[in-house]
Amino acid sequence: MPAVIGATPAQPPGKYDSEVERLFGAGGPLGPAVGDFRPRRSQTEMAKAIASAIANQTTLIAEAGTGTGKTFAYLVPALLWGGKTIVSTGTKNLQDQLFLRDIPTVRAALQAPVSVALLKGRSNYLCHYHLERTLQNGRMTSRDDVGHLREISRFLKMTKTGDKAELARVPENALIWNLVTSTRDNCMGAECQYYQDCFIMKARKEAQQADVVVVNHHLFFADVALKDSGVAELLPSANTIIFDEAHQLPDTATLFFGDTFSTSQVLELCRDVLAEGLSNARDGADWGKVVTVVEKAARDLRLTFPQDIVRLSLPQIAASSDFFPALQKLKDELDGMMDVLEKQAERAETLEQCRQRGVELVGRLAAWKFDPKAKVAKGEEAVFWVEAYASSLQLHKTPLSIAPIFNGQREGVPRSWIFTSATLAVKNDFSHFSEQMGLSDEPSMTWPSPFNYEAQGLLYVPTGLPDPNSFGYTDAVLDLALPVIEAAGGKTFLLCTTLRAVKRAAERLRDEFEKRGLPYPLFVQGDKGRTELLDQFRKAGNGVLIGSQSFWEGVDVRGDALSLVIIDKLPFAPPDDPVLAARIEVMEKQGKNGFMHHTLPEAIINLKQGAGRLIRDEGDRGVLMLCDPRVISKPYGKRIWQSLPSFKRTREQEVVIEFFKNKNSDQ
């Protein structure tokens, strides 16, 4: 029988090898009999390495090629010997998959008495208080909102978890959710009349008591930074932390270890100050006037940048820009609203809460100090920069390196830390990932994919393409892609590096398909939600899907529906990215080559993710069409080739057409 769940003393390597062999071997409970799962040598070896790291409370960086079965390889040791385990994955969809499918499968096969809990961020749980307030206020902006609110009211009476993912009839991104969920700022906490029934509190209590808790990276790092998600309460008792899709960690951690002030936070505060002021202290101030001047100052600050989307470091903003006086104006008007709140807050708990939120916002704004001539703040190792969206402006303070902060989180109680993904290394070199995360001295291992890439796939780099930065490049890519799409019979992902390219490709292909009478349904990122687009693509069987970053990873289309993946350019980060520019500047001061040490490894890891969409199963066959001529023309191209799967390679379109002819005749 498996070992009992609980903290394990240090064990010699190999202690659990025979048990892993039994479980994954022919005739074992996780052999071929479980679903469509097939036993693989790499998976068994990976499970042994993770079991050893868990037993010895050490760290392991584990790269497992597509098809290895890494989820089962870490779940088996975690469920049997991991003690209290936190599994953190890349997205909420993957969280649900682990909780609803993968963990129950492994638990049943092992007959392990393990309790499991799912924990998401507070915006995923219906809030009794805010739902009631919204029903009473009745300030709906559209007919959709009214219908959605009716559905949510019904849902409240039936749900045990309050998780909005259970209510499929109301889209996850519907605006109504903002009015019926809580934020860290506006949660009443223990003062709330519904505290005993609170879905967030119930989820956190279940997580406290469970053996295995499934979270996502955003939640994990939001908690480390804000202490607001319930993970902080779990960490002291956790023996094992497993990060799946670990390649996403540097970006996610950077997001949360930094600090952000947003004009949308100001507008939300103003909305609540007006509502609570009129409800609880109508005679205390002219609340409409108090908030209007702050709202105007916040909107005026956004309007100092006329473009729709802007990312600028402070040295890039001209000293004469309207931004600086507008920022000062917002500070002054916020101070004015805070004076009123200081006097009126004692009249109601909700007004006091607004005051506390205001104090935090004012503090965050005051901390946004800078030397406009320096890319990096002196003594802070942080970058100050501005990001503008269509209707909001954000002021960011981002750490240059998350390694020291993350290392601080890992100190203290001995426990095992497992970092796993299909893409952590560049040509078997883990240094880029490990340096970013502060894991330079930790062991790393890689297990190859079981797929026969040479027989299953073809890598095609077409000839005759112009420089990727030249005008009309997207059209040049499409000229070469169209005959290949036709040979494949649709069944294509076109992965672009920019939204502008997505838009142009959609216009052109729509036109070309109609002109040529090609019967391929077109699915374009932005037209519908990602899950809906993918479902429709799979059902169509001959579709063409055009997407940017969100379709490069975490997308699994097996079988004949996807036979061609086209990548328009190498996914280099934009050179004007303020944080990237500052990091590279620091590297170059240390005598390193910023491009070779950071930009190129980052692009290769992203490219590996995109390429990984093609072959998802032993029976899949297809073509990866990589359109960027720099793969051939630049000295660094060889490093890129060597990091990709070992497909046969060609530069001839005829070879590709022949591949699809043979593929189709085999079916």
Is the pLDDT score of 105 beyond 80? Answer: yes
Instruction: List the beta bridge partners of residue 242.
Output: 87, 418
Lowest mean pLDDT: which of 57-61, 405-409, 495-499? 405-409
Across 299-303, average pLDDT = 94
* pLDDT reported for residue 7: 35
For residues 590 and 564, state if they share a domain: yes
- Which three-class secondary structure state does DSSP give residue 561? coil
For residues 518 and 595, state if they share a domain: yes
For residues 333 and 475, state if they share a domain: no
Interatomic CA distance for residues 293 and 304, integer angstroms: 17
Residues 6+ apart with CB under 8 A from 569: 468, 473, 496, 497, 501, 627, 628
Enter the tokens of residue 439. Answer: 């894991």
* pLDDT reported for residue 636: 94
Enter the tokens of residue 155. Answer: 């849902």
Domain boundary among 178, 199, 220: 199
For residues 504 and 549, state if they share a domain: yes
Domain boundary among 199, 217, 233: 199
For residues 589 and 627, state if they share a domain: yes
Interatomic CA distance for residues 98 and 583, integer angstroms: 35
CA quadruple 54, 57, 59, 63: dihedral, nearest 10 = -10
With vertex at residue 184, the alpha carbon angle to CA 182 and CA 185, rounded to the nearest 5 degrees, is 95
Is the pLDDT score of 34 beyond 50? Answer: no
pLDDT-based confidence at residue 145 (cuts at 50, 70, 90): confident
For 608-651, the pLDDT digits (tens) are 999 999 999 888 999 999 999 999 999 999 999 889 999 999 99
Contacts 24+ apart (CB under 8 A), 661-667: 661/487, 663/563, 663/621, 663/622, 664/489, 667/560
Is the pLDDT score of 548 beyond 50? Answer: yes
DSSP per position, 95-143: HHHIIIIIHHHHHHHHT----EEE---GGGBB-HHHHHHHHHH---SSH
- Measured CA distances, 154 to 125, 131, 134, 150, 173 (Å): 15, 11, 14, 6, 19
Lowest mean pLDDT: which of 133-147, 393-407, 536-550? 133-147
For residues 433 and 476, state if they share a domain: no
* pLDDT reported for residue 86: 95
- Which three-class secondary structure state does DSSP give residue 351? helix
For residues 609 and 513, state if they share a domain: yes
With vertex at residue 447, the alpha carbon angle to CA 442 and CA 453, rounded to the nearest 5 degrees, is 145
* pLDDT reported for residue 231: 65
622 close to 460: Cβ distance less than 8 angstroms: no
Is the pLDDT score of 239 beyond 90? Answer: yes
Instruction: Label residue 221 exposed, middle or buried (CB < 10 Å: 0-12, 13-18, 19+).
Output: buried
Instruction: Decide if 208 is inside a domain.
Output: no
Instruction: Decide if 641 is inside a domain.
Output: yes
Residues of the chain with pLDDT > 90, as a percent, come to: 58
β strands within 233-352, DSSP E? 240-243, 259-262, 310-313
Interatomic CA distance for residues 301 and 313, integer angstroms: 16
pLDDT-based confidence at residue 121 (cuts at 50, 70, 90): confident
Interatomic CA distance for residues 658 and 429, integer angstroms: 36
State in Å, rounded, how far the first CA of the chain is from the last one.
45
Is the pLDDT score of 88 beyond 80? Answer: yes
Is the pLDDT score of 85 beyond 60? Answer: yes
Is the pLDDT score of 37 beyond 60? Answer: no
Residues 6+ apart with CB under 8 A from 507: none
* pLDDT reported for residue 647: 95
Count the Cβ atoms, other than its own, within 10 Å of residue 471: 9
Domain total in the chain? 4
pLDDT-based confidence at residue 32 (cuts at 50, 70, 90): low
- Measured CA distances, 350 to 187, 226, 273, 281, 524 (Å): 10, 21, 9, 11, 44
Is the pLDDT score of 665 beyond 80? Answer: no
* pLDDT reported for residue 19: 81
Instruction: Decide if 132 is inside a domain.
Output: yes
Instruction: List the beta bridge partners of residue 60.
Output: 418
* pLDDT reported for residue 517: 94
* pTM across the whole model: 0.86
Across 591-605, average pLDDT = 93
For residues 102 and 157, state if they share a domain: no
The candidate with the shortest Cα–Cα distance to 547, out of 527, 572, 519, is 527
Is the pLDDT score of 248 beyond 90? Answer: yes
145 close to 139: Cβ distance less than 8 angstroms: no
Instruction: Decide if 222 is inside a domain.
Output: no
Is the pLDDT score of 554 beyond 90? Answer: no
Instruction: Decide if 66 is inside a domain.
Output: yes
Residues of the chain with pLDDT > 70, as a percent, come to: 92
Enter the tokens of residue 524. Answer: 């374009």
* pLDDT reported for residue 373: 53
Is the pLDDT score of 10 beyond 50? Answer: no
116 close to 214: Cβ distance less than 8 angstroms: yes
pLDDT-based confidence at residue 12 (cuts at 50, 70, 90): very low
For residues 462 and 534, state if they share a domain: yes
Is the pLDDT score of 9 beyond 50? Answer: no
For residues 40 and 183, state if they share a domain: no
409 close to 224: Cβ distance less than 8 angstroms: yes
Is the pLDDT score of 545 beyond 90? Answer: yes
For residues 636 and 493, state if they share a domain: yes
Across 562-583, average pLDDT = 91
Is the pLDDT score of 269 beyond 90? Answer: yes
Instruction: Decide if 600 is inside a domain.
Output: yes
Interatomic CA distance for residues 579 and 382, integer angstroms: 9
Lowest mean pLDDT: which of 270-279, 311-320, 467-476, 638-647? 311-320
Interatomic CA distance for residues 506 and 500, integer angstroms: 10
- Measured CA distances, 146 to 116, 158, 169, 225 (Å): 36, 19, 13, 36
* pLDDT reported for residue 378: 56
Dihedral of alpha carbons 246, 251, 254, 256, sign: negative
Interatomic CA distance for residues 655 and 667, integer angstroms: 19
Interatomic CA distance for residues 510 and 617, integer angstroms: 30
pLDDT-based confidence at residue 229 (cuts at 50, 70, 90): low
Domain boundary among 131, 164, 199: 199
Lowest mean pLDDT: which of 175-184, 481-490, 650-659? 175-184
Is the pLDDT score of 279 beyond 80? Answer: yes
- Give phi and psi for 365, each to the nearest 5: -70, -40
- Measured CA distances, 507 to 393, 433, 501 (Å): 30, 38, 10
Instruction: Decide if 140 is inside a domain.
Output: yes
For residues 49 and 37, state if they share a domain: yes
* pLDDT reported for residue 570: 96
* pLDDT reported for residue 227: 58
pLDDT-based confidence at residue 412 (cuts at 50, 70, 90): confident
* pLDDT reported for residue 667: 60
Range of the structural domain that residue 391 is part of:
259-370+379-399
The CATH number linked to 356 is: 1.20.1440
Is the pLDDT score of 5 beyond 80? Answer: no
Instruction: Decide if 79 is inside a domain.
Output: yes
Helix axes 349-366, 263-280, angle to 10 degrees: 160
pLDDT-based confidence at residue 52 (cuts at 50, 70, 90): very high
